[in-house]
Amino acid sequence: MRPLDWVVLSGTLAFIVLYGLYKGRGSNTISKYLLAGKTMPWYAMALSIMATQASAITFISTTGQGYVDGMRFVQFYFGLPIAMIVISSTSVRLFHRANVYTAYEYLEKRFDAKTRTLASIVFLMQRGLSVGVSLYAPAIVLSVILGWPDRLTTLGMGVLITIYTVTGGIKAVTWTDVQQMLIIFAGLFVAFFMIIHLLPPGISFTDAVYLAGAIGKLKAVDAKFDLANRYNLWSGLIGGTFLALSYFGCDQSQVQRYLTGKSIAQSKLSLLFTAMAKIPMQFFILFVGAMVFVFFIFVRPPLLFQPIAMRDLESSQVQPRYAPISAQFDRAFDERREAALGLVDARRAHDGGRRAQWLGQYRQAQARINQARAEGAGVVQQIHGEKEFNDTNYIFLSFVTRYLPAGVVGLVIAVIFAAAMSSSSGEVNSLATVTVIDIYRRHIRQDAPDRHYLWASRVSTAFWAAYAVFFAQYAKNLGSLVEAVNVVGSLFYGTLLGVFVLAFAFRRVTGTAAFIGMLAGESAILATALFTRITFLWFNVIGCAVVIVTGLLISWLRPVRQPVAA
């Protein structure tokens, strides 16, 4: 990084922290600290919801996903608009009218204390695992740029997040999220236009799109039904809907955002805006990754994008094994570049015969590049004794740090840091809220004054920030981070969704039936993950279905009158 990059990066981070401290003033009661006194406008909630979900993982890993696997990951979000419409017409109204701090507090009003506690524990487990993954993403940034230890990076991020989150609560988190999303949008567009600008002379934007499509990078929809295929139309529409229902309707990190709204109408509007904006945003991020792929058609990329792995391959001990792989990669790169240029010329000349010939050579060269990369990854795995090597998370950053001009590099890195801070601060705040409201106030100290719970919330916030820093050290072993965070969530979300469906839709279901249903649902998810090849998006469907069926069956066999929340 050059001096101008450091100025842009440090200035952006300082602005975010100071702005959060400024906007968090007056959070001196538990209601203001955890719910911002219910004063948030729809646009602030909408941007905060998007910022909490759009972590640094989104910009580091999703761009890499677009490079490696193309656009088909966008299908993951096809169910989101459906889920947002359902949540807007059900959860928002019920949670607001119940006057709760957390989604799980509602479960005691509807069922009983044990169901509320179990749901809270499930949330703390899944979100506690995810928060470390979210915080680890910026560690990749500085490890690529400066070679700093991961621990130092995550500690620095944790300190910055703690400063304004502990002080200002949800109000500081929400308003900093607004600024962070604006920075994120600006950085994305700047990076995209720089990629197009850096394409070689004679290669237009339409040429780049054609080359990406010719190799399959722009195939966004796969209509084939396959339970073992992570990303297709059906897993996105069905599994994605259930995942989005679980995440935005049952996960406190999202529910807490629309509980801060001025009114039910404002909260609904925030969700509907997110429904319209999320898919185009993810499509654009994946498209940026596809354009990075086109850039590296003409500029030789490293065999592996992970710098430490490349140093291992180039070491004197490994060089004899690496040399033939590198030579194969170089030949394939030259052949792919020549074929790409020929393909563009044939397309412009409308010469179908030459185009078919060059297209075959183009795809064959890409296959040889993929093979060389796989062989190089295999050598790295043998060196370190690892089961799997994945450099997806390093692709976009490798491009940014090597080829973008001074100032723009700092802006893109600031985007990634802003995204990490927004998602992690939101997660830490929600974890603290559930810890204090659903565990501490409910079971440990029930009659303390408001000031006591305010300080308990601040201490809990600091604890979860420290926990995130600690757990982040294990995230480096999880492969593609954007997949890892959703796999972790899918191990628990179906259970939470199932119990809320029972609460909302089936008035005769008892608390005990819901509790047993949750245990059965979580057992079904874990069994599916361990003993089948069914992909993770379907875990949400399976868990939800098992919870509902079990709860209804037990309530039918043992009917008990159950008080219903207003």
What's the per-residue H, E or C state across 333-372? HHHHHHHHHHHHHHHHCCCHHHHHHHHHHHHHHHHHHHHH
Query: What are the CA-CA distances from residue 67 to residues 222, 243, 325, 421 (Å)?
Result: 18, 25, 21, 25
Residue 56 CB neighbour total at 10 angstroms: 29
Cα end-to-end distance, the chain, whole Å: 57
Tokens standing for residue 288: 């940026």
User: Please, where are the H alpha helices in 101-149?
Assistant: 103-110, 113-145
8 A C-beta contact, residue 460 and residue 34: no
Tokens standing for residue 270: 């925030």
Task: Provide DSSP, 174-202.
Answer: HHHHHHHHHHHHHHHHHHHHHHHHTSPTT
Tell me the C-alpha distance between 205 and 203, whole Å.
7
Tell me the C-alpha distance between 187 and 197, whole Å.
15
Tokens standing for residue 127: 């979100």
Radius of gyration in angstroms for the set of CA atoms belonging to the chain, rounded to a whole number: 25
β-pair partners for 564: none
Show pLDDT as tens, one digit a residue, over the chain (566 residues).
788 988 988 898 888 888 888 888 888 889 898 888 889 999 999 888 887 766 666 677 788 888 888 888 888 788 889 999 999 988 899 989 888 999 999 999 999 999 999 999 988 988 887 777 777 766 766 666 666 777 777 788 788 888 888 888 888 888 888 887 887 778 778 888 888 999 988 899 999 999 999 988 888 787 787 777 777 788 888 888 888 888 888 889 888 888 999 899 999 999 999 888 888 888 898 899 999 999 999 999 999 888 888 888 888 888 888 899 999 999 999 999 999 999 999 998 888 888 899 999 999 999 999 999 999 888 888 887 766 777 887 888 888 888 888 888 888 787 777 777 777 888 888 999 999 999 999 999 988 999 999 999 999 999 998 888 887 766 555 555 555 666 777 888 889 999 999 999 898 899 999 999 999 999 999 999 889 888 887 888 899 999 999 999 999 887 655 555 54
pLDDT for 394: 83
DSSP state of 306: -
Please report, for the chain, the start and end positions of each structural domain, with discontinuous segments joined by +.
Answer: 3-27+42-296+401-441+455-557, 307-389
Let me know how long the chain is.
566
Tell me the C-alpha distance between 139 and 57, whole Å.
11
- Our CA angle for 219, 230, 297, nearest 5°, is 40
Which residues lie closer than 8 Å to 476 by C-beta, 6 or more apart?
136, 139, 150
CA 556 to chain centre: 39
Tell me the C-alpha distance between 430 and 251, whole Å.
9
- String of b and e for 80-117 (b: at least 16 CB within 10 Å)? bbbbbebbbebbbebbbeeebbbbbbbbbbbbbeebbb
Tell me the C-alpha distance between 181 and 22, whole Å.
18
Tell me the C-alpha distance between 279 and 283, whole Å.
6
Tokens standing for residue 294: 């086109």
24 HSE (CA, 13 A, CB side): 23
8 A C-beta contact, residue 133 and residue 472: yes
* CATH of the domain spanning 3-27+42-296+401-441+455-557: 1.20.1730.10
Residue 258 CB neighbour total at 10 angstroms: 28
